[in-house]
Amino acid sequence: MLEKDIQSKIMRWLKSHENWFVWKVSDRFNAGFPDILVIHNGLVTLFEVKTEKGRATPLQLAIHEDIRKAKGRVFVVRSLKEVKGIMGEKAWITGKEA
């Protein structure tokens, strides 16, 4: 499956929830920034979407580190199932990763 197809599935699912702010960030002007931004209950979570074989670039990893230093949550995901798991974790309520 192509990265854009995975992103589309994830976006559809995220946008189906009321009171979740969901934004597709990735474009050519935001190199290195994660693909999807979600805000719910005041917590910020970002997703970098990759195919099964895809890997985050050094720039992406550096940005992920900066986001985590600012107490944001950022994940590299390869499927809607992974996103559902992350969004359903206790960490989503507390803001702390398990």
* pTM score, whole prediction: 0.86
**More confidently predicted of 29 and 68:** 68
Residues 39-72, buried b or exposed e (16+ Cβ, 10 A)?
Answer: ebeeebbbbbbbeeeeebeeebeebbeebeeeeb
| Predicted confidence (pLDDT) per residue in 8-32, tens digit | 999 999 999 999 999 998 677 788 9
Q: Are 43 and 30 in contact (CB under 8 A)?
A: no
Q: Is the pLDDT of residue 1 over 50?
A: yes
Q: What is the mean pLDDT of residues 69-88?
A: 94
Q: Where are the domains of the chain?
A: 3-91
Q: What is the CATH number of domain 3-91?
A: 3.40.1350.10
Q: What is the mean pLDDT of residues 62-84?
A: 96
